[in-house]
Structure 1
């Protein structure tokens, strides 16, 4: 397979001769360092040429560098960038940064600049703003009515949209991009939980969604900002040129779509309980006919805050977008890699299928999804240890968020012995962490769910600083249960009802993005298991 740079990065090389110079320097001196496995720091350009030449497989190259350097490596950029990066996947460093000395590693100004589209939401927030938002989010996800709403919405989305779509594809013998299916599934599910409205993007005709497309554009540009010197992309942002112009347009679309949802929900709030009881998406009404989505919950609390509608709407916009990106992309990426791993490990799929058959309640054998297709209840799925273990194993090998970056307020020495300063950006490669023998054993590159099963048959706990897919420490992801509920509901229904086969010769590779999507999607065919 030949080297194929993303079009956006190729454009960067043409537009900025400094990067061409860096590449030329690397080619010139490559013979002198051909026996070195670790990058060499060249005058002026630093180690930038190595990034350019390995950008087509950046995650695996980073893992190789960290393996060779014993889990930590200091990357020195060009002189004009005035930045250094400490790459690490050392669990001791992770525990120290994310937990022990958490207060020394806020998100900071650089992070907020890169992710400016997220506003003052929980991902960018620090100090009291972050604590306040986390308290509100924790109160929502732990609320009994929200949990009921989550379980019912997840099951019904699978029953009403996902299963019928796959049944139709099986009948027609069509090739599906399963990654696209999961992205639409998680987009609709996230909109339901956050806005109380299902946009219906998982319809068989795959309708376009300006909101979803704008989020895709924003994520691509955010990744470019990670690899481009800050002064360059800030200049483009100010001039509104290139990818930053597309970013600005996407931002406007995002604001418009979120504002529409907030306005609709606020009107329902003002209309009284009767209107709210009839506003839940079809098929996800609560026990009393009302679903507790995020907007409804937060709007009910506004009266006690003393804030104006304009100010509170800005808060709702930032909160909703943060949760939307977190919910949509991580779940879809996790499911995509999970099914690809199942396709290459049929023995794991067989064990999951056996577990589903053994624990399927008698009333479900007749099928509840229509045409004899079974759909599982999240309560029953929570008892299935092997399915949970297989999902954890997929997230270990292919974490939806492949890296995290932090910056210290004060200089210090990390447990690995590496020194960090105010200008040091610490990048934790979660992707590399799952591929280190010293962390996960000699079989670290194998897809083996059994590593998550204890001797008693229960799911084994691994510390979050070792299994970082849901973050660690005070910022541990509050949506972990939501993600597992949605992934299990989708995975169980698909595995039990359909045989999924990846199209022969289809190339699967990680995409260069802040989310670990697949570069070419996941092209599959599906056939019915039971008729």
Structure 2
């Protein structure tokens, strides 16, 4: 008999409502601590979350301390590997086991790729660049980049740029604050230094952020796009958030920030083509990549050039600025370590080295304690604190963990560096001596135990460049200044693709005689 009355409709609606509520209740009972339909792998503990949504809410609510939450989870579960689920995101297995990390990043490299969700989250900024590409496209890009990041370029060109920008930084903001006695935001200054340095290395363009008093549009846009990348990665509702921003007065959208980046980069590319056609020569990354070919055997398009250089600019600018900021923060907290480092610098570096890039390059190579300090800081404050890939097929890890096709495979250098099971009972303490062997030489750890520069075929091409720049900067600054932390500061990280300081770092600058 057809339903024709309002009462019949209400009755049907009530039945549907009761059935829906009953179904949700039953599902909530079954999936009371994990995402709906998620079945955790056997043999490893699972981090518990809320019914039906798993850890999604805690990921969003606690985003600002997500790295410490990883540490707490490993300690609470007393494990080096656990599983996790969040509604709307892939099932995840998270590990800090060095053997597992070497397995999926090196031994069985071909089975683990940058997933489509990662590409979707980062692609609007990084395009098809080397950091989020896979397969043959990645191999071609990697091969081309390997010819650029070589010893000759490090020694003969890149170091000259570092020294030039260091002198600008010292003669400008640091000398000014040493004279005035006012504090300076060390973290912000390092970001300006590395941005100027890497824009010069990448484009042969003097951006002059170190001499700027205000906000640099390009730097602001770069920072905001990075924050958006992480938000897109952990929050499936970001498209809705971005849609709301588009109709909110006074709110800059990610599209607008990307336009700032693209206008600068594409403008430089067009200018460079014109200048090259006039016979000018350049040593920067842009010109070197203009001489390379893509997987089709053709010169890189403007879009490919843009993506390539933006990827390396992201890697170079942010990671080095953060490494320097966290290094000087720790030196100010540990006077013994600072003195020992100053002693090594004074014993090896002379004034003439600072104007001779080749000589300085050779000196830096033979300073084990400077390297040890840097590596120890990177162990505790890794510039890329967490990372993720996706399994193409089922696999079994060295610790027996069973990985299923489509699983997100996550590793946390931040949590690993603070694990007492991996680094010993003093894991959370800064002790550079752990990197020095009995002969006084630098100790090398396995990539799986210290994956700060990645592992296997994707190991960081700019590792030597970043290390060189950081140590050269440390040498310049410690030979000239004594830094002291300003009081009443909350020095902590801001969650993102990398690990900057959330509130900056105010320091007093004293110029040494």
CA deviation digits over 1:362-414, x for unaligned, max 9?
A: 646xx979xxxxxx933322221111110010001000111010110012222
SS at match of 1:426: strand
Give 1:138's match in structure 2, choosing from 108, 132, 146: 146
- Residues 168 and 210 in structure 2, CA contact (< 8 A), matched pair in contact too: no
- For residues 492 and 376 of structure 2, the distance between their equivalents in structure 1, rounded to whole angstroms, comes to 18
SS at match of 2:453: coil
Give 1:246's match in structure 2, choosing from 247, 253, 260: 253
Task: Report the equivalent of 2:194.
Answer: 186
Tell me by how many angstroms 1:304 deviates. 12
Tell me by how many angstroms 1:157 deviates. 1.3
- Residues 217 and 246 in structure 1, CA contact (< 8 A), matched pair in contact too: no
Give 2:298's match in structure 1, choosing from 307, 326, 331: 307
Structure exhibiting the larger radius of gyration computed from Cα positions: 2
Task: Report the equivalent of 1:297.
Answer: 288
Superposed, 1:98-247 pairs within 5 Å as 98-116=105-123, 117-142=125-150, 144-145=152-153, 147-203=155-211, 205-229=212-236, 232-234=237-239, 241=246, 246-247=253-254
CA deviation digits over 1:125-177, x for unaligned, max 9?
A: 11111111111110011162454101111112112333442111100112111
- For residues 130 and 171 of structure 1, the distance between their equivalents in structure 2, rounded to whole angstroms, comes to 50
Aligned length: 467
Tell me by how many angstroms 1:302 deviates. 6.0
CA deviation digits over 1:431-490, x for unaligned, max 9?
A: 000011121111111111111111111111111111111111000000011101111121
- For residues 285 and 50 of structure 2, the distance between their equivalents in structure 1, rounded to whole angstroms, comes to 51
Task: Report the equivalent of 1:91.
Answer: 98
Task: Report the equivalent of 2:507.
Answer: 524
Task: Report the equivalent of 1:262.
Answer: 269
Tell me by how many angstroms 1:298 deviates. 2.1
Task: Report the equivalent of 1:75.
Answer: 84
- The two structures, once aligned, show a CA RMSD in angstroms of 2.7
- For residues 242 and 438 of structure 1, the distance between their equivalents in structure 2, rounded to whole angstroms, comes to 50
Task: Report the equivalent of 1:421.
Answer: 404
SS at match of 1:501: strand
- For residues 516 and 160 of structure 1, the distance between their equivalents in structure 2, rounded to whole angstroms, comes to 26
- Residues 118 and 233 in structure 2, CA contact (< 8 A), matched pair in contact too: no
- Residues 266 and 299 in structure 1, CA contact (< 8 A), matched pair in contact too: no
Task: Report the equivalent of 1:40.
Answer: 48
- For residues 201 and 112 of structure 1, the distance between their equivalents in structure 2, rounded to whole angstroms, comes to 31
Q: Unaligned 5+ residue runs, structure 1? A: 1-24, 31-36, 277-290, 370-375
Normalising to structure 2: TM-score of the pair? Answer: 0.85
- Residues 507 and 520 in structure 1, CA contact (< 8 A), matched pair in contact too: yes
Tell me by how many angstroms 1:179 deviates. 0.6
- Residues 163 and 493 in structure 1, CA contact (< 8 A), matched pair in contact too: no
Tell me by how many angstroms 1:107 deviates. 0.9
- For residues 401 and 247 of structure 1, the distance between their equivalents in structure 2, rounded to whole angstroms, comes to 22
Question: 1:468/1:163 Cα in 2 relative to 1: closer, same or farther (>3 Å)?
Answer: farther
- More divergent stretch after superposition (291-300 vs 42-51): 42-51
Question: 1:436/1:242 Cα in 2 relative to 1: closer, same or farther (>3 Å)?
Answer: farther
- For residues 165 and 57 of structure 1, the distance between their equivalents in structure 2, rounded to whole angstroms, comes to 32
CA deviation digits over 1:495-523, x for unaligned, max 9?
A: 12111011112111111211111111111
Task: Report the equivalent of 1:448.
Answer: 431
- For residues 501 and 515 of structure 1, the distance between their equivalents in structure 2, rounded to whole angstroms, comes to 25
Q: Unaligned 5+ residue runs, structure 2? A: 1-27, 34-44
1:334 partnered with 2:323 = yes
- Residues 66 and 87 in structure 1, CA contact (< 8 A), matched pair in contact too: no
- For residues 306 and 93 of structure 1, the distance between their equivalents in structure 2, rounded to whole angstroms, comes to 37
Give 2:417's match in structure 1, choosing from 409, 434, 440: 434
CA deviation digits over 1:229-273, x for unaligned, max 9?
A: 2xx23455678748997211111211111101111221121111x
Question: 1:248/1:53 Cα in 2 relative to 1: closer, same or farther (>3 Å)?
Answer: closer
Tell me by how many angstroms 1:430 deviates. 0.9
- For residues 468 and 136 of structure 1, the distance between their equivalents in structure 2, rounded to whole angstroms, comes to 23
Give 1:343's match in structure 2, choosing from 315, 332, 354: 332
- For residues 139 and 247 of structure 2, the distance between their equivalents in structure 1, rounded to whole angstroms, comes to 37
Task: Report the equivalent of 2:6.
Answer: none
Give 1:513's match in structure 2, choosing from 482, 492, 496: 496
Tell me by how many angstroms 1:421 deviates. 2.1
- Residues 186 and 328 in structure 1, CA contact (< 8 A), matched pair in contact too: yes
- For residues 239 and 521 of structure 1, the distance between their equivalents in structure 2, rounded to whole angstroms, comes to 29
- Residues 178 and 336 in structure 1, CA contact (< 8 A), matched pair in contact too: yes
Tell me by how many angstroms 1:49 deviates. 4.0
Task: Report the equivalent of 1:356.
Answer: 345
Question: 1:305/1:142 Cα in 2 relative to 1: closer, same or farther (>3 Å)?
Answer: farther
- For residues 386 and 130 of structure 2, the distance between their equivalents in structure 1, rounded to whole angstroms, comes to 18
- More divergent stretch after superposition (404-413 vs 232-241): 232-241
Task: Report the equivalent of 2:24.
Answer: none
Task: Report the equivalent of 2:459.
Answer: 476
- Residues 72 and 87 in structure 1, CA contact (< 8 A), matched pair in contact too: yes
Superposed, 1:281-296 pairs within 5 Å as 292-296=283-287
1:384 partnered with 2:384 = no
